[in-house]
Every structure is written in structure tokens, then in C-alpha cells.
Amino acid sequence: MSSSPSRRILVTGGAGFIGSHVCDALVASGHMVRCMDNLATSRPENISHLEAERTFSFVEADIRSEEDCKAMVNGMEMVVHLAALGSVPRSVQDPLATHATNLTGFLNMLEAGRRAGVRRFIYASSSSVYGDSQDLPKREPQIGRPLSPYAVTKVTNEVYASVYSRLHGMDTLGLRFFNVFGERQDPEGPYAAAIPKFIRAFLRQEAPLIHGDGLQSRDFTYVGNVARVIEQAVAVTDARCTGEVFNVAFGARTTLLELVWLLREELARIDPAIGQVEPVHVAERAGDVRDSLADISKARELLGYEPTIDLRAGLRKALPWYLEHWR
């Protein structure tokens, strides 16, 4: 891998939790960034600090619109496609909305990128593609049967990208994110991720709700590690990466109960009363994967990925933001 010259890069979903961190990293690296977002699940304040940057621009647009996609890729060298409707439970409740954004929207962007001749199409996949596979750690060739409509969309995204690489010679590169967390991750709403929901509950001295026995495990990945690997995916020149997918995680396994105790320990430093709050167990959620742990050796070898921020360090980086915004 060699350092990348300045590129013109479209970031879809760029006002979202992960997308805004990616925009930060790409702008800081000297790239020209166009941020595209429909603001359905994103927040304008996530990118407000970038508005003064001459190398950054924001356009409110929707990947479900073919015309918007065509307009947004115009003049761009690369696409970092992060726009999606997240959440396994939401996809179970409303599979048509998930399909419209994650499949139709994905294909709109892929086709618009192909027609515009973009140099590389980097896209977000998900650890949910491993489905009912019992293998640990998770390795890229060995996926299971999907357990939710959300997982179906991510598997299909990978298939479409692979087809476009083989059929059209398009340089696609997929990143399977594992339970990303960090600043700007919204704890509001029924489909919020576990870490921000647990943080909000503790800050309010309310019992965090654990679905099931709490022994299900995840590979929690700090968002700064994710932003870094996307920078590396932009810069990589190794032809072996074309049409491939890569696990993006820390490479460590933590149960939800361990996560809750760690959060309680960290937050009790700020408010000792939080140390007395106990979690409450509720029913398991349909479509959830039981255990998750990534083998990140492929990303390490081909992309130069080396996550430097573990769960505890990532939480210590993120907690001040939650104290400021959600206390």
C-alpha cells in the first residue's frame, strides 16, 4: 500500500454516525469530500464543524432516487457508500423500507458509479452476513444463512458488488463492520444500538435492558478504527483487493454482561450512584446473531489495517460526548 494523492470522494450517509467520522478523516487527509445524506436517520450537527472547510460540501439527497445518485457521482473519483437503513429489529418490523434503502438504493449508487466511471466503489457490509454460522472467529469465505431482512440486504450488496467487478471490471471493495460504537451514535429510538442505549440508561440511573441472558458476545469496534480502515481502502493499490470483502473489527469478544459491567465501572467514576444500577433481562430479539468474533487477518494483510483502540479505550473517548449531549 502507498499513500494516496488527494481524491474527489463522495460519501453517502456522510452525516450519520459512522459517515461523519469518515468525512472528518478524509478531509483531514486532504481529500475533496462531497457528503450526500437524506437526513432520515442522521443529524446535520454531526458535520456542522466541517462546513467551513473548502474541501467539504454537503448535499441533501436520497440514494433511493436514481436522479440524485447520478447527480452526486458526477465529477467524483471514488464512492464511499455508507448510506443504509440500519438495525436488525427495524428490518424485521419493516422489511420493505429496509429493502428500498439497502438494496434499491445500493444498486442505484453502484450503477450510477459504474456509468460515471468512478475509480473505486467502497461500501459498508455487515457482520450480520455470518447469520447462523457457528464458526468462531468469523472468516470472510464462510458466511451462514441470514437471520433477518437486514442481513439479506447486506449479503445481496456483496453479491451485486462482486458481479459488477466481474461483469464490468469495476473496482469494488466491501467492509464488513462489526458492532461499531463511538461518539455521535444516537441512543434515541427503539432501534438504537446497545452501547448508546446502555450509556443513556446509566446516566439516567435507569436499569439497562439486556435482551436474553446477556451471554451473547460481540466484537465491539471503535469508530476511529473504522474511519482509519476506510482511509486505507481509499489509498490501497493492491489489485488483490478488487471485488473482495474484509472484516472490520477489533478482533476481541465481549459478552453483553461484560459490556454492561465495564460501562457501569467507567460511568461510576463520574457518578458513584451509577455503580448501584443493575441491568434487567428481557426477551430475546428475533434475528439476532448469538456470537460474533472477527478474524481480521485479511484486512491486516491487504489493507494494512491495525486497530489501535480497544473497547475500554474507545468508551473513554466516547463517554465525554455522551455526557455533553445526553446526560
Q: Read off the DSSP letter of residue 141.
A: T
Cell numbers linked to 222:
471503535
Cβ within 8 Å of residue 274, ≥6 positions away: 202, 203, 205, 264, 267, 268
What type of residue is 195?
I
The answer to whether the peptide bond before residue 5 is cis (omega within 30 degrees of 0) is no
SS3 136: coil
SS (H, E, C) 266-289: HHHCCCHHHHHCCCEEECCCCCCC
C-alpha distance from residue 78 to each of 38, 43, 63 (Å): 20, 24, 16
Q: How far apart are CA 112 and CA 139, in angstroms?
A: 31
Q: How far apart are CA 176 and CA 81, in angstroms?
A: 13
Cβ within 8 Å of residue 168, ≥6 positions away: 114
DSSP E strand stretches across 128-198 = 172-177, 180-181
For 64, counting Cβ atoms within 10 Å of its Cβ (0-12 exposed, 13-18 middle, 19+ buried), the class is middle
| Residues carrying an active site annotation | 150
CB 302 within 8 A of CB 242: no
* Separation of first and last alpha carbons in the chain: 43
C-alpha closest to that of 46 among 28, 23, 26: 23
Cell numbers linked to 248:
472490520
CB 225 within 8 A of CB 308: yes
